[in-house]
Amino acid sequence: MTEVENLSIAIVGSGGAGALTSGNLLLEAATAAGWYGLLTRTVGPQIRGGEAAALIRLASRPVECLADRFDLLIGIDWLNANRFGAEIEVGPHSLVISDPRGGDLPDFVKNSGARVVEIPMKEMAKSILEGRPNMIALGIVAKLVGLNQEVFTALIEKRLAEKGQVASQGSRLALQAGVAAAAAVQFDRRLAPAVAGKKRWLVSGNETTGFGAIRGGVRFAAAYPITPASEILEWLAPRLAKVGGVLLQAEDELASINMIIGASFGGTPALTATSGPGLSLMIEALGLATAAEIPIVVVDVMRGGPSTGIPTKSEQADLNIAIYGFHGDAPHLVLAPQSVGDCLFTTQWATYLAEALQAPAIVLSDQFLGQTVAAIERPADVAFIGERIRHTGSEAPYQRYALAANGISPMAIPGMRGAQYTAEGLTHSERGTPTSGAAEHRLQLDKRRDKLEQFTFGDHWATLEGTGDVAVVTWGSLTGAAREAIELAGRDGIAVRLVAPRLLLPVQNARFTAALDGVKRLLVVEQSHSGQFYRYLRAHYDLPGETRVLHRPGPFPIRPSEIHQAIAEWRS
């Protein structure tokens, strides 16, 4: 028996088999037992009836990405399970639990060299009133990873109470049957005890994003449903009301972006959340927010693109539109959270920055961050609360777009006497009067550029870790995988730096250059087909030494071993 720092488990089943329910209960129970971990779901776009897999990683310390390989794969059944072949890597080190009546083993299992143990989950479930195979599967996993059965019993009571006494009794008995069936199964790994004592949360990135918005001061959200961003809006709807805010469902994304501009014009910090197709529709009005200097926050939970793409899966390919999508010269803010926990900080900071700079901020989250449920250490409290500089009434006549030294002109809020002005998307004078004059055009372009460039963003602009003359430069949700890869490289004796900008726009030239001082090899890691992040880096920064790019499109996140391998190969 080996004690390991983390264990990866996949539970697979056809629609309705309950694989996701088992996965959620497993993570929740492991969390209650003190461990860390995360769960990502992989499903098709269909509402019901498709295959589903719960991919779970349990760990004795916080983890931010899936592992490279799965230790344990449970097939409640194998109908269409082949489609998960590329996502669930099993090999000779893996144990596969299969129901002999669950259909043929998929090829990716058959050819993997994994040890397969058959347990008749369906048949066992049939002998239990209201017993279901997914609960048998859960019992098997519980036993194999060494989770206390009592934790589950309490959870089942809590989660299945509304289904009635018989159902929860059935689930409990099925779980016990699974535990008993697994007693004879050899499994040589046990999860090491967790580092105790830290306050932890069980939460998804979409939830932490919502919370970050509220913490940052957002009190109005406009919502148009879109996968995989809807949970942010659904989380916000009832909670905004509790903190004195409001959410309005819009008729489309053109409306939602304009609604938040209207609310912000009225003095209320405002946000909307969407994904690529919605962001595309919002771009025109984002330009309006830039020109009219209205603070707003737009969260883009990126999915596979272009067009409808892969709504349920992750990609980092909206970087170009977020940075370059606006017509005209339109300085704005682009930020990217780096973990489930960091979605809180980054959204809160984005709200603060948008308000401070009276500019739109785009937050590039992605499906992986948004929909992954993770047990994380409670993020530290930060003091960033969005508050714009308001016109105090001292200077008269009021000029909304006055050329302030730092480019940030005090904003009057409707209701304030004597400061009436018209917010303007046309090129305008300091007062806001439309003009097509070259001088005023230039002055206002300068103003909007300068206010972003002169602002001191501080150390939050990037995650910088480690030393050495090799650097991994990455962003967003791949930061966790890069960090793990760097740790693996460290075990090989290779010192690697991590440089992951959280603030993508405005670019931070001096800081970036300093972060890469002395670097001889630079590995860019990103999840896009065309290498958008690499091209962005090339456009804005001087990259020292030799550069290589590890990039591929979604939907499967780049794993730590791929990055580790790229580092190791380059070295040798």
Partner 1 sequence: MEELIVTPDTQLACKPSDYRSDLKPVWCPGCGDYHVLMAFTRAFAQLAVPAEQIAVISGIGCSSRIPAYTNCYGFHGVHGRSLALASGLKVTRPDLTVVVASGDGDGYSIGGNHFLHACRRNIDMTYVVMDNRVYGMTKGQPSPTTEPDFDTAISPGGTGLSPFHPLVNALASGANFIARCFAGEPNETAAILVEAIRHPGFSFVEILSPCVTYRPDQKQWKDLVHPAPVAATNDPAKAARRIMTDDGFNIGILYRGERRPYQPKFQPQSLDPSVLEQEFEI
Among 49, 100, 164, 434, binds partner 1 (CB under 8 A): 434
**Shortest reach from residue 552's CB to partner 1, in Å:** 33
Residue 45: exposure state from Cβ atoms within 10 A (0-12, 13-18, ≥19): exposed
Q: By C-alpha distance, which of 501, 498, 492 is closest to 523?
A: 498
**Shortest reach from residue 272's CB to partner 1, in Å:** 10
The SS3 of residue 279 is helix
Amino acid identity of 53?
Answer: A
Q: Which residues pair with 46 in a beta bridge?
A: none
Q: What are the two backbone dihedrals, phi and then psi, of residue 241, each rounded to the nearest 5 degrees?
A: -60, -35
Residue 422 Cα to chain centre, angstroms: 38
Identity of the residue, 435 or 561, whose beta carbon is nearer to partner 1 in the bound complex: 435
In which element (H, E) is residue 337 found?
A: none
Query: Residues 311, 340: contact at Cβ < 8 Å?
Result: no
**Shortest reach from residue 298's CB to partner 1, in Å:** 14
Residue 265 touching partner 1 (CB under 8 A): yes
Contacts of 194 (CB under 8 A, 6+ apart): 33, 34, 35, 36, 59, 60, 61
Residue 219 touching partner 1 (CB under 8 A): yes
Residue 279 touching partner 1 (CB under 8 A): no
Query: Hey, what are 260's tokens?
Result: 């938040």
Beta strands 220-223 and 246-249, pairing class: parallel
Name the one range near partner 1 by CB under 8 A: 180-188, 234-242, 312-320, 513-521: 234-242
Phi-psi region of 402 (alpha: psi -120 to 50; beta: other; left: phi over 0): beta
Identity of the residue, 31 or 371, whose beta carbon is nearer to partner 1 in the bound complex: 31
Residue 260 touching partner 1 (CB under 8 A): yes
Report how far residue 523's alpha carbon sits from residue 546's, in angstroms, rounded to the nearest whole number: 9
Identity of the residue, 200 or 303, whose beta carbon is nearer to partner 1 in the bound complex: 200
Report how far residue 194's alpha carbon sits from residue 59's, in angstroms, rounded to the nearest whole number: 7
Among 268, 547, 561, 565, binds partner 1 (CB under 8 A): 268
CA separation (Å) from 145 to 59, 91, 539, 557?
11, 18, 48, 25
Query: Hey, what are 39's tokens?
Result: 């769960």
Name the one range near partner 1 by CB under 8 A: 78-86, 198-206, 331-339, 514-522: 198-206
Query: Hey, what are 151's tokens?
Result: 């934790």
Name the one range near partner 1 by CB under 8 A: 62-70, 324-332, 431-439, 538-546: 431-439
Question: How many residues touch partner 1 (CB under 8 A)?
Answer: 66
**Rounded to the nearest 5 degrees, what angle is found at the Cα of 166, between the Cα atoms of 161 and 171?**
75
Among 100, 193, 266, 306, binds partner 1 (CB under 8 A): 266
What string marks each residue from 314 to 343 as x (binds partner 1 by CB under 8 A) or -? ------------------------------
Residue 432 touching partner 1 (CB under 8 A): yes
Report how far residue 283's alpha carbon sits from residue 300's, in angstroms, rounded to the nearest whole number: 12
**Shortest reach from residue 492's CB to partner 1, in Å:** 35
Report how far residue 457's alpha carbon sits from residue 506's, in angstroms, rounded to the nearest whole number: 10
Residue 267 touching partner 1 (CB under 8 A): yes
**Shortest reach from residue 227's CB to partner 1, in Å:** 21
Identity of the residue, 33 or 124, whose beta carbon is nearer to partner 1 in the bound complex: 33
Among 46, 111, 406, 420, binds partner 1 (CB under 8 A): 420
Identity of the residue, 11 or 203, whose beta carbon is nearer to partner 1 in the bound complex: 203
Report how far residue 340's alpha carbon sits from residue 535's, in angstroms, rounded to the nearest whole number: 26
**Shortest reach from residue 445's CB to partner 1, in Å:** 18
**Shortest reach from residue 219's CB to partner 1, in Å:** 7
Residue 462 touching partner 1 (CB under 8 A): no
Report how far residue 277's alpha carbon sits from residue 300's, in angstroms, rounded to the nearest whole number: 10
Residue 220 touching partner 1 (CB under 8 A): yes
Identity of the residue, 27 or 452, whose beta carbon is nearer to partner 1 in the bound complex: 27
Identity of the residue, 417 or 491, whose beta carbon is nearer to partner 1 in the bound complex: 417
Residue 549 touching partner 1 (CB under 8 A): no
**Shortest reach from residue 39's CB to partner 1, in Å:** 14
**Shortest reach from residue 296's CB to partner 1, in Å:** 10
**Shortest reach from residue 205's CB to partner 1, in Å:** 12
Q: Which residues of 404-438 are buried (b: 16+ CB within 10 A; e: fewer)?
A: eeebbbbbbeeebeebebebbbebbbbebeebeee
Residue 458 touching partner 1 (CB under 8 A): no
Identity of the residue, 157 or 252, whose beta carbon is nearer to partner 1 in the bound complex: 252
Identity of the residue, 256 or 528, whose beta carbon is nearer to partner 1 in the bound complex: 256
**Shortest reach from residue 267's CB to partner 1, in Å:** 7
Query: Hey, what are 328's tokens?
Result: 């005209």
The SS3 of residue 115 is strand
Identity of the residue, 245 or 295, whose beta carbon is nearer to partner 1 in the bound complex: 245
DSSP 81: G
Residues that bind partner 1 (CB under 8 A): 31-32, 199-203, 207-208, 211, 214-215, 219-220, 222, 239, 241-246, 248, 250-252, 254-268, 270, 284-285, 287-288, 292, 375, 378, 412, 414-426, 432-434
